[in-house]
């Protein structure tokens, strides 16, 4: 049973994080940091602090001595959650990829590092610390990497969708008057130093007023339009050394594009739908390319490789390398909480996502997550204390690293920040409740 000394050890681990968070909150309210500086701090956490923290933890484990049943239960619970969310996204009208990613973060990625290790050691003894470390390693190697994959997949898919819709829209309004007006306004707004060449591809304007407007910019266009009915290829020399937009002589070079390939007409026929296999391949290529550039991917691979080699042959990291990694990895959690405080201060209210979404987040974190973990643990055959540890571990508050990723990719950071803040506040009584009920 937890005594006052055990409770104090938990508070010793948690309170400094809240101090860091409230200092960040106050620094924004006192105008110490600008919004651009706050974004830079979160970028530092995502690119440097979190990857090095992951590497530090992963490199210290013994991969040859892990509880395989606990690992299986953890994997089954998360895979089961992904299957349910995948079905919800594809079969329900309300299901979206954005919310599937957020719900997955809320229900399956607890704060095992900060709250789990001191709390579970107090409840079940020091020998259960290795179980928590294994859970952290699985998060870093598998589930944070999967989360990054989902974020990158979402970004690539959105980019493909925007490009597809834009190309379709451009093809459907080819020759529209608005395209001419947009080009004219863009030219009239430019007032930079130096001269340049504006290379514009235009279709035959249907409105004579638009033609007259272009006559004021480039008189030669009017004559050219009479000769070339299909399109114009304009090379406009424009002088930007004065405040008013002008055209130098010779002003316009016009060439017929009638004999060229009508790519703008045929483009809708070659544009693939975002759901087609060709587009799926393009999306996956974009995702893999961006994951290769993400330092979190390398941190997990290098950490596991070092753990396998060091435990197999007894190799130790050189002290220079150890200190270089530690000096930045030690900032990981503190800077993540600092970034959380900066985000809180930038919101108009403390519960940034609203009361309804906050309640849904708490239900996903403290009810759905432990329930799925309990089912998975029983299914793989966990019993006794290990079963209790797996369920209590799943009832811990929301992890900080998923919030860092959510803010980096701008996907419901308000929901994740609320889950982290209030989850850490109410997690201790909820975890104690699970501990008591499982011990009956």
pLDDT of the chain, 440 residues: tens digit per residue:
566 776 777 777 778 878 888 899 899 889 898 888 888 888 888 888 888 888 887 888 888 888 889 999 999 999 999 999 999 998 988 889 999 999 999 999 998 876 777 778 777 877 777 788 888 888 888 898 889 889 988 888 888 777 777 766 665 555 454 444 544 444 444 444 444 444 444 444 444 444 444 444 444 444 444 444 444 444 444 444 444 444 444 444 444 444 443 444 344 444 455 567 777 787 788 778 877 877 877 888 888 889 899 988 988 888 898 888 888 888 877 887 888 788 778 777 777 788 889 899 999 999 999 999 999 999 999 988 899 999 999 998 888 888 888 888 889 988 998 888 888 778 778 888 888 888 76
Q: Are 353 and 418 in contact (CB under 8 A)?
A: yes
Please give the pLDDT value at position 174: 52
Q: Are strands 231-239 and 246-255 parallel, antiparallel or unpaired?
A: antiparallel
- Provide the 8-state DSSP code for 126: G
Distance CA 183, CA 99 (A): 38
Residues 206 and 330 in one domain: no
Tokens 């919310």 sit at which residue? 99
Residues 121 and 147 in one domain: yes
Angle at 147 between CA 299 and CA 396, to 5 degrees: 95
CATH number at residue 350: 1.20.1530
Angle at 167 between CA 407 and CA 261, to 5 degrees: 145
Residues 408 and 303 in one domain: yes
Query: Residue 28: phi, psi to the nearest 5?
Result: -75, -40
Q: How far is CA 282 from the centre of its chain?
A: 19
Tokens 């863009």 sit at which residue? 186
Residue 379 lies in a domain: yes
Residue 334 lies in a domain: yes
Strands (DSSP E) contained in 125-257 are 196-203, 231-239, 246-255
Residues 399 and 375 in one domain: yes
Residues 93 and 200 in one domain: no
Residues 11 and 147 in one domain: yes
Residue 171 lies in a domain: no
Residues 224 and 316 in one domain: no
Residue 369 lies in a domain: yes
Bridge partners, 202 (sequence order): 232
Count of Cβ atoms closer than 10 Å to residue 423 Cβ: 23
Residues 226 and 133 in one domain: no
Query: Residue 411: phi, psi to the nearest 5?
Result: -125, 100
Q: Structural domain tally of the chain?
A: 2
Domain boundary residue, one of 269, 296, 320? 269
Domain boundary residue, one of 269, 300, 333? 269
Residues 265 and 303 in one domain: no
Distance CA 394, CA 315 (A): 34
Q: Which ranges constitute the DSSP H helices of 60-116? A: 68-91, 97-108
Total residue length of the chain: 440
Residue 172 lies in a domain: no
Q: How far is CA 91 from CA 84, 96, 383, in A?
A: 10, 10, 36
Domain boundary residue, one of 238, 269, 300? 269
Residues 349 and 370 in one domain: yes
Residues 89 and 229 in one domain: no
Handedness of CA 313, 316, 321, 325 (dihedral sign): positive
Two tokens at 148? 């990054």
Distance CA 110, CA 138 (A): 12
User: Domain span at residue 156?
Assistant: 4-166+277-439
pTM of the model: 0.68
Distance CA 351, CA 357 (A): 9
Q: Are 218 and 234 in contact (CB under 8 A)?
A: yes
Two tokens at 17? 């994080």
Residues 231 and 303 in one domain: no
Q: Are 347 and 336 in contact (CB under 8 A)?
A: no
Quick: pLDDT tens for 266-305.
Answer: 444 444 555 677 777 877 887 788 778 778 778 888 888 8
């Amino acid at each position: 049973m937890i005594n006052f000394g055990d409770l104090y050890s938990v508070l010793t681990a948690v309170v400094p994080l809240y101090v860091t968070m409230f200092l960040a909150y106050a620094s924004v309210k006192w105008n110490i940091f600008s919004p651009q500086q706050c974004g830079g701090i979160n970028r530092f956490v995502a690119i440097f602090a979190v990857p090095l923290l992951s590497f530090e933890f992963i490199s210290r484990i013994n991969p040859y001595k892990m509880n395989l049943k606990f690992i299986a239960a953890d994997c089954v619970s998360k895979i089961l959650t992904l299957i349910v969310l995948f079905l919800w996204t594809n079969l329900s009208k309300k299901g979206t990829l954005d919310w599937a990613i957020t719900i997955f973060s809320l229900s399956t990625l607890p704060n095992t590092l900060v709250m789990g290790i001191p709390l579970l050691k107090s409840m079940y003894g020091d020998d259960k610390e290795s179980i928590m470390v294994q859970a952290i390693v699985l998060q870093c190697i598998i589930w944070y990497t999967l989360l990054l994959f989902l974020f990158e997949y979402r970004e690539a898919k959105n980019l493909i969708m925007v490009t597809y819709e834009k190309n379709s829209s451009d093809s459907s309004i080819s020759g529209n008057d608005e395209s001419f007006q947009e080009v004219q306004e863009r030219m009239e707004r430019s007032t930079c130093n130096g001269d340049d060449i504006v290379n514009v591809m235009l279709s035959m304007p249907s409105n004579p007023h638009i033609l007259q407007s272009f006559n004021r910019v480039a008189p030669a266009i009017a004559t050219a339009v009479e000769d070339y009915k299909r399109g114009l290829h304009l090379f406009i020399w424009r002088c930007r050394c004065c405040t008013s937009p002008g055209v130098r002589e010779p002003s316009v070079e016009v060439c017929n594009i009638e004999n060229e390939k009508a790519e703008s007409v045929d483009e809708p026929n070659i544009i693939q739908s975002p759901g087609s296999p060709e587009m799926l391949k393009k999306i996956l290529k974009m995702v893999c390319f961006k994951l290769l550039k993400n330092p979190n991917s390398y941190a997990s691979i290098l950490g596991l490789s070092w753990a396998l080699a060091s435990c197999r042959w007894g190799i130790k990291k050189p002290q220079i390398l150890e200190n270089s990694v530690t000096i930045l990895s030690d900032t990981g959690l503190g800077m993540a909480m600092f970034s959380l405080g900066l985000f809180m201060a930038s919101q108009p209210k403390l519960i940034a996502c609203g009361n309804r979404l906050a309640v849904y987040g708490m239900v996903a974190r403290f009810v759905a997550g432990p329930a799925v973990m309990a089912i998975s643990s029983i299914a793989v055959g966990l019993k006794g204390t290990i079963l209790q540890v797996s369920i209590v571990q799943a009832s811990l508050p929301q992890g900080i690293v998923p919030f860092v990723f959510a803010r980096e990719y701008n996907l419901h950071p308000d929901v994740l920040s609320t889950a982290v803040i209030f989850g850490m506040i109410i997690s201790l009584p909820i975890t104690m409740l699970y501990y008591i009920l499982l011990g009956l």
